[in-house]
Structure 1
């Protein structure tokens, strides 16, 4: 009797995910702001995935976005990926590209160098994988966080948390700047409200705290990028420009022009059009002025004068993924300051939010008293060496 042919093992993609995490850890350690698994969307459709999206601020005026394509498998098709990532970079208008591949052909490295593509080949990947600093991470992976999100969504019989998280990540790909920051602020408002409503210190409270940190980190990075265009302008002009960007988005002049066009159409074609157009104009501007954009703009302009805002973005992203999720009061000073301003902007009480996630502190018991608890003067002054002899 002939034995039945065994089926090929099912591909899980786990190896690729692990490589993405290791490469992400490398770039985080190198000082980049990094987002993994960014879905490029257009018109509601998902077009492709960006494995790693990086943002770098190297000087007051120097800012750079980089997309990294990662393929760690038996048939990486590195040449095809190189052409693909160059075309994608041009489409979404980022400043640089990179490839991490299991392919080791020298000719491809030379081709990448010729076209200014960062090239991480198999030998480089193996060195990264052998680094204990990169593999022994204190962070959750994207898959770990995804599992926590799935549990929260399952308890709510929805996929709202997953979809909102993905939408915020997607915004860095094609509208990084004020529009991305506004999308992240909306996400932060949604997650912070859910955190406030959740049972304190529950799994949902932890997950919503993490996602609020993440959204605030995205907003901080996006504002930092946007501030580069006006870095040399007078402070008041920068403040006015950023305030308008928070209220109107990327194109304040374009938004105002659309409003004027709508008013003209109402005035010409609607019954009692002139009066109705004036009412809409006044109420629209009243609504805009009620948005507390000035306070958030002030702290952004102040922190963006140096690298404080960029560092706050990295610290907030780190807090979102740490295995031991920190509470609000444990965040670094600048991260806490920016998140506090963001919470004020989205009308979430800081104290109430901070009470949603307060992990229990470890209890350290005092050592039991013994006859040897108090060392002699000689022992206290001269600690023993490894062989037990006094110095």
Structure 2
């Protein structure tokens, strides 16, 4: 939600980045799926960025997206940020908002509560910063991962890896659901393909493994969110709904209508239009049937009967950022099952992918002094509780 300069210094944003990591650790420990540094794009332009984007699944039908704006500096302009984040939330249609600020005014906390904005003020931030569980972790920061990505891009004289990673991230902001899942699966296909082509155990193999995990995590979260709309329907209806979502994206009926319109236009205006329209209709449907969406949809339906897919998303996100990046075979069982289904869907051999990166030959990560204690989603992390208006 704030523009951050490329050259980071203590005066220009390093403190803010560190605070974002601490607040992210807090929400990860509280059971949320969290993405940091999400850029909101429209028409190819970057409009703003969201410091933290959260997804919560608290029950079979209860799903919630939250955006958090973080300002930890001498002049946080907290009131302006409150108005801004409320407007942004309405624009991208998320269910809740929050502010983490170095401001100390009680009047703003009361205003935030009145407007159902989660409020984390300076006193709350200081408590989070004093928690060793949150400040010392075995995770890479976004900046650490960015440095690894930059090394791979530099070696290839391009910015493709960075750009595709940013595109997968940005998909959660304004199209979370089938369209986001498809974007993330496309990202996973690119990264997994690069991974199996890289030298086993190399830095590129590690980075592409991490980014495959991350893309699969976004896909899992987006499909979990999508499944909420049909959670109470019979199994075959849920399967059909998710199969169409994977094949068509957000608007299966709209896609079919556009195809029918195109066929009608060809039939009416093109030479030999009727025959050409029939050929296009047949080939399009044959191409759709060749997409093995049913297998992936079946896995999603089974895993969304409970919180298994949501937990797989959290575990895959954690694996993407762990200092010691785990291999495919070392992933938690549900994370491995979902990623395996994604690899099958994008025609990447699981065995070959698993052999590309192995902890027996790790590459030193950017954060060499990270603590060895794990803060994985399954670990017990003591964090203060939250309600809809404040950090308790």
TM-score (norm 2): 0.89
Q: Residues of 2 paired with 1:70 and 1:10: CA distance?
A: 16
The within-5 A match list for 1:172-183 is 172-183=172-183
Q: Tell me the residue number matched to 2:240.
A: 240
Cα–Cα, structure 1 residues 43 and 198, in superposed 2: closer, same or farther, change >3 Å?
Answer: same
The within-5 A match list for 1:236-275 is 236-275=236-275
Tell me if 1:170 matches 2:170: yes
Q: Residues of 2 paired with 1:323 and 1:12: CA distance?
A: 26
Count the aligned residue pairs.
354
Q: Residues of 2 paired with 1:360 and 1:283: CA distance?
A: 47
- Could you say what secondary structure the match of 2:359 adopts? coil
The within-5 A match list for 1:77-96 is 77-96=77-96
Q: Tell me the residue number matched to 1:375.
A: none
Q: Tell me the residue number matched to 1:214.
A: 214
Tell me if 1:142 matches 2:151: no
Q: Residues of 1 paired with 2:279 and 2:47: CA distance?
A: 42
- Please, which runs of 5 or more residues in structure 1 have no aligned partner? 1-8, 363-391
Q: Residues of 2 paired with 1:320 and 1:118: CA distance?
A: 28
The within-5 A match list for 1:1-391 is 11-360=11-360
Q: Which runs of 4+ in 1 moved over 2 A?
A: 9-12
Deviation (angstroms), 1:10: 7.3
- Residues 327, 358 of structure 2: 8 Å contact kept: yes
- Residues 57, 64 of structure 2: 8 Å contact kept: yes
- Residues 53, 66 of structure 2: 8 Å contact kept: yes
Q: Residues of 1 paired with 2:38 and 2:201: CA distance?
A: 29
Deviation (angstroms), 1:361: 6.9
Cα–Cα, structure 1 residues 269 and 169, in superposed 2: closer, same or farther, change >3 Å?
Answer: same
Rg larger in 1 or in 2?
A: 1
Q: Tell me the residue number matched to 2:385.
A: none
Deviation string 1:326-375 (CA, Å, 9 cap, x unpaired) is: 0001000000000000000000000000000012179xxxxxxxxxxxxx
Cα–Cα, structure 1 residues 361 and 263, in superposed 2: closer, same or farther, change >3 Å?
Answer: closer
Deviation (angstroms), 1:202: 0.2
Deviation (angstroms), 1:14: 0.4
Higher RCO (CA < 8 A, seq sep 6+): 2
Q: Residues of 2 paired with 1:87 and 1:289: CA distance?
A: 42
Q: Residues of 2 paired with 1:157 and 1:207: CA distance?
A: 16
Report the aligned-residue RMSD. 1.0
Deviation string 1:48-98 (CA, Å, 9 cap, x unpaired) is: 000000000000000000000000000000000000000000000000000
- Please, which runs of 5 or more residues in structure 2 have no aligned partner? 1-8, 363-392
Cα–Cα, structure 1 residues 28 and 10, in superposed 2: closer, same or farther, change >3 Å?
Answer: closer
Q: Residues of 2 paired with 1:10 and 1:316: CA distance?
A: 32
- Could you say what secondary structure the match of 2:281 adopts? helix
- Residues 247, 293 of structure 2: 8 Å contact kept: yes
- Could you say what secondary structure the match of 2:100 adopts? strand
TM-score (norm 1): 0.90
Deviation (angstroms), 1:169: 0.2
- Could you say what secondary structure the match of 2:356 adopts? coil
Deviation string 1:183-202 (CA, Å, 9 cap, x unpaired) is: 00000000000000000000
- Residues 178, 222 of structure 2: 8 Å contact kept: yes
Deviation (angstroms), 1:34: 0.1
- Could you say what secondary structure the match of 1:355 adopts? helix
